[in-house]
Structure 1
């Protein structure tokens, strides 16, 4: 399949992919955005309602492996279409659920549906774009996650006021169906048979297995830690603000809008630093992790004292994790093109992100209930520090792997 080289076509395709990713985020994080409202309206415990987040993260992560495998073998455009339709169905079913266990079961299916978005999309972008256009497109596409988060946290209070928390899911389902129609009409990718094999796979795999198995294990661990912070802070920051500073729940949800605003800037800044200054993916990830560590320390210093600064430092911490995410899950997979497994590696690395996300769902809820928010912030700082140290430790082996 020929590469797209016309700049207008590249931009048009990148924007289509961004809106796809935006809708996937809207239909996935909407549950976390309204979780405090569900708890209050339905008189359910936070730890029980958050079980759906954990289940969704587990199925999303597991589905990444399946989606990544299939994305290298089947038409990724149609895989994404199927995921959109299934996620629309689950968003319509959630409002009729009457117990947290029913919600957990339905949202687990949604997590699996959502898994059929990112790995096939990476395969499409790597097929359609040149290497340089791919890097730029990744940045544009990841804006979709931030814009989707803004949409959810800005509009959820409005939907809750007009229709209750159930209205958030109905509106989300409508946009998923609309996106599925646009996707099939506008996506130019038609051939799912393109492979990226430039070396003998058996010889390369043997060499990789002997020298770099530990390297990949540590990279995957760092991505797990990033997932804990990225999704954990995003999900629980409104609850933290509401409980710590006694803000109205809907007002606290609205504070979540600031998180993706900072994330957009962090993604763009990380991309510029990567292309112009720090060429090593793992070294750059370590720097951004350490920036997150400092943000967590600053958050702890203003905990319970200043709501605006608490929101600010929470936003910076989350933004740093989005910076780490784009480096680890967007810029690393293309180095595995010679294995013919770009989609699979993208799925595997994203799988690690959502192992962390699963841990942050019910895990942080239980931790905060038992030890309080001050201890939770300290935990966030420790996780960020550990991620930075791991990435720093594997920078040299990773650079050797790239050279080989």
Structure 2
């Protein structure tokens, strides 16, 4: 059996890509909407609002670039959601002041942008949005009420607000910001949960519950990258198991019993390995195990433990007890520049020798040199 290792990782970039797409969608919406609003206020000759909008547009573009190059996401900054939410709400307050408070359709449209921009790494900015929106809008309302700011309205005839209208509009806006944020956040959580479940299905063998070949490739790439970064490169052991006479078991007792044997062997793997080890179903009755930072001596000990544990099991079949065994081939990846394909193929060759020499045994370079 020869194999070809694909140089791609089906899962390594999934969450990162999801975050990047989410952030960039929000930032693109922010940039586009702010540009349109700046043009609108420029047309109505309100220069101070245009200046504030231009500052917000500049910030939005800078934020867009920071997310584009993963500077904020990878560092997981706690303020990566609060800062854009704050800028958005300040700009929203200025929009409301110039367009008629929350009666303007501009406000309702921009609430969607707030919800998207506040969906940062943990998406817990709904309460913050509600509080800040209420404070900013009530403050702006009081400025107008006490004639600190002049009445400006490009949508309708300016009407001086009352204290009651300031309270109601600010409360409604804060509540709207919170509700929109919660709705969009729950939707995003649901989509993320579905994606993670689909990924788990794609990377797991449905019968045994351990990882499949596709998942093994992904973890092998991660482990090799970790090995390359290490100041003291460590060996990686590969243990290739094949259940002895498995076709005979299927032909004699049926595929249901064969499946039970596979499940039992996978259970032995799970209970015999360290947390950092990685077992996978390689295909059919073959299983491949990756042991990071393991020399040949240690790999042989692990393989013998798994072999003897599995062989000691008794499986009840139609009133009788059957025993099964497994053969093992071991190879070690020592050099960072060695192609792992050749190392795994070597484990396959050792596995063939174990079977040829009587099965139910471990075979490695130690057998060759003795």
What TM-score range do you get, normalising by the shorter chain? under 0.3
Q: Which has the higher helix share?
A: 1
Q: Which has the higher strand share?
A: 2
Larger Rg: 2
- Scaled by the length of structure 2, the TM-score of the pair is 0.24
- Scaled by the length of structure 1, the TM-score of the pair is 0.22
